[in-house]
């Protein structure tokens, strides 16, 4: 078949073990020997057999990254950051050895809870060294339980699991009841101690609530009193947190009575923003501001408003969330909330690799900051 460790060993005149040690660099090997081995590796164009080494070492160099939608820059930016922290640095030659290289496996769940579970299983099957779960979680008790159990099994198998951009997972009622202890479960739990923290995975979260509050407060300060809200899918943590921040700001101004009526739920995409804005205009023609769940939705809303002949921001102000690159390029440039996506991805990767110490409480929260641009202004005098 292809070149194996033994072939290299033969050519270098050493044992297979020595070659392995040279390649992994985690054991002292004499200089001349090491050079002979490296030369043989080069001459034979030897490439380690990953599966074999993963089998023997009981761990692989794969790191899973679960995202809701790769085509969405929000996730692309996070995934890119995670990978840059794991992956091969540019100068690396990339020959046989260099076992330090982690390979990121970016998995697209499409927001489907089932697929999320399936990928987790696939990753466990590959004996992934770590898994980073990005994006908001679906808030369904059934799914949460399944997710927690799957993650528990991954951790029990030695994988580090880190949440990025989603709130920490808490078992409903902290698993006080042990009545479901089947034989298999007991086995698993018995060995859980060796893996990561038994308290559940580490998390890097965004201050969605705080960001949303600031944003709406900004609008209120400008003088807006009738604000519509274009929410994401119901039953998603991200959706809920942003909405809560918005409502909190409204409540502070005594404006929350009308909030439910002026909220439209949809997906995190452009057409949802378009449709939602139309619906909002129908429900409340006197609207002076539209707060969108994210930048993409905001862009859809802008399109709808333009089509209706409504001027932004003179007639209606519009805000986004996330501050994706295109937000600055929209016309008018979007007022939004900046989330440190890349920084969060890097931090999640470092935690996943065990390079950084766990943050206090197992949760690191990234700040959200208001970016005020041209899409917001005081409401029309009317």
Q: Does 144 bind a copy of itself (CB under 8 A)?
A: no
- Sole binder of a copy of itself in the list 58, 174, 178, 382 (CB under 8 A): 58
Q: Does 303 bind a copy of itself (CB under 8 A)?
A: yes
Q: Does 198 bind DNA (CB under 7 A)?
A: no
- Sole binder of a copy of itself in the list 106, 130, 162, 163 (CB under 8 A): 106
- Enumerate residues 158-217 that contact a copy of itself by CB under 8 A: 182-184, 187-188, 191
CB of 192 or CB of 244, closer to DNA: 192
- Sole binder of DNA in the list 25, 38, 40, 53 (CB under 7 A): 53
Q: Does 122 bind DNA (CB under 7 A)?
A: no
- How far is the C-alpha of 12 from the C-alpha of 41, rounded, in Å? 9
- Enumerate residues 87-106 that contact DNA by CB under 7 A: 99
* Structural contact between residues 322 and 339, judged by C-beta atoms closer than 8 angstroms: yes
- DSSP per-residue string spanning 171-198: -GGGG---TT--HHHHHHHHTGGGSS-T
Q: Does 33 bind DNA (CB under 7 A)?
A: yes
CB of 144 or CB of 214, closer to a copy of itself: 144
* Structural contact between residues 269 and 242, judged by C-beta atoms closer than 8 angstroms: no
Q: Which residues of 184-216 are buried (b: 16+ CB within 10 A; e: fewer)?
A: eeeebeeeeeebbeeebbbbbbbbbbbbbbbbb
CB of 104 to a copy of itself, least distance (A): 7
| Bridging pattern class, strands 336-338 and 369-371 | antiparallel
Q: Does 340 bind a copy of itself (CB under 8 A)?
A: no
* Structural contact between residues 224 and 288, judged by C-beta atoms closer than 8 angstroms: yes
| Contact window for a copy of itself (CB under 8 A) among 14-22, 62-70, 159-167, 349-357 | 62-70
Q: Let me know the angle formed at the C-alpha of 322 by 315 and 150, rounded to the nearest 5 degrees.
A: 140
Nearest CA to 161 out of 202, 122, 125, 112 is that of 202
| Contact window for a copy of itself (CB under 8 A) among 14-22, 98-106, 130-138, 209-217 | 98-106
CB of 40 or CB of 312, closer to DNA: 40
* Binding partner at 350 among DNA, a copy of itself, none, C-beta below 5 to 8 Å by kind: none
**Per-residue DSSP letter, 257:** G
Q: Does 16 bind a copy of itself (CB under 8 A)?
A: no
Number of residues that bind a copy of itself (CB under 8 A): 80
289-292 β-sheet, strand order: 263-265, 227-231, 289-292, 317-319
Q: Does 1 bind a copy of itself (CB under 8 A)?
A: yes
- How far is the C-alpha of 165 from the C-alpha of 343, rounded, in Å? 11
| Contact window for DNA (CB under 7 A) among 51-59, 150-158, 209-217, 220-228 | 51-59
* Binding partner at 251 among DNA, a copy of itself, none, C-beta below 5 to 8 Å by kind: none
CB of 28 or CB of 381, closer to DNA: 28
Q: In this structure, what is the dihedral angle of CA atoms 74, 77, 81, 87, given to the nearest 10 degrees?
A: 120
- Enumerate residues 2-21 that contact DNA by CB under 7 A: 2, 4-6, 13-18, 20-21
Q: Is 131 helix (H, G, I), strand (E, B) or coil?
A: strand
* Structural contact between residues 230 and 276, judged by C-beta atoms closer than 8 angstroms: yes
- How far is the C-alpha of 199 from the C-alpha of 202, rounded, in Å? 9
120 φ/ψ angles, rounded to the nearest 5 degrees: -60, -40
- Sole binder of a copy of itself in the list 15, 100, 112, 372 (CB under 8 A): 112
CB of 28 or CB of 94, closer to DNA: 28
* Structural contact between residues 342 and 76, judged by C-beta atoms closer than 8 angstroms: no
CB of 28 or CB of 254, closer to DNA: 28
The footprint of DNA (CB under 7 A) covers 1-2, 4-6, 13-18, 20-21, 23-24, 26-30, 32-34, 48-49, 52-53, 55-58, 99
């Amino acid at each position: 078949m292809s070149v194996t460790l033994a072939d290299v060993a033969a050519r270098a005149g050493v044992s297979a073990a020595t070659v392995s040690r040279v390649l992994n660099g985690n054991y002292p090997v004499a200089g001349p020997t090491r050079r002979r081995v490296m030369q043989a590796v080069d001459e034979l164009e030897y490439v380690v057999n990953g599966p074999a080494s993963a089998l023997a070492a009981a761990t692989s160099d794969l790191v899973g990254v679960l995202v809701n939608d790769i085509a969405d820059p929000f996730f692309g930016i996070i995934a890119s950051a995670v990978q840059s922290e794991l992956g091969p640095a540019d100068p690396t030659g990339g020959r046989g050895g260099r076992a330090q290289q982690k390979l990121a496996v970016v998995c697209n769940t499409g927001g489907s809870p089932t697929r999320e579970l399936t990928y987790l299983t696939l990753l466990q099957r590959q004996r992934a060294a770590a898994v980073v779960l990005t994006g908001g979680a679906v808030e369904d008790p059934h799914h949460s339980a399944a997710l927690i159990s799957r993650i528990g099994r991954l951790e029990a198998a030695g994988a580090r699991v880190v949440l990025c951009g989603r709130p920490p997972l808490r078992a409903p009622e902290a698993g006080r009841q042990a009545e479901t202890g089947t034989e298999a479960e007991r086995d698993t739990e018995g060995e859980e101690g060796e893996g990561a923290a038994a308290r559940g995975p580490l998390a890097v979260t965004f201050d969605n609530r705080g960001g949303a509050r600031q944003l709406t407060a900004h609008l209120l300060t400008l003088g807006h009193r009738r604000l519509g809200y274009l929410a994401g899918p119901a039953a998603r943590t991200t959706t809920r947190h942003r909405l809560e921040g918005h409502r909190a700001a409204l409540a502070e101004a005594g404006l929350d009575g009308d909030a439910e009526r002026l909220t439209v739920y949809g997906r995190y995409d452009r057409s949802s923003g378009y449709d939602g804005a139309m619906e909002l205009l129908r429900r409340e023609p006197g609207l002076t501001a539209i707060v969108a769940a994210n930048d993409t939705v905001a862009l859809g809303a802008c399109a709808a408003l333009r089509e209706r002949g409504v001027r932004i921001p003179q007639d209606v102000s519009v805000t986004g969330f996330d501050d994706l690159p295109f937000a600055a390029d929209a016309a008018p440039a979007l007022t939004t909330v900046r989330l440190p996506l890349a920084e969060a991805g890097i931090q999640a990767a470092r935690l996943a690799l065990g390079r950084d110490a766990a943050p206090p409480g197992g949760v690191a929260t990234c700040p959200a900051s208001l970016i005020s641009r041209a899409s917001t202004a005081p409401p029309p005098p009317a």
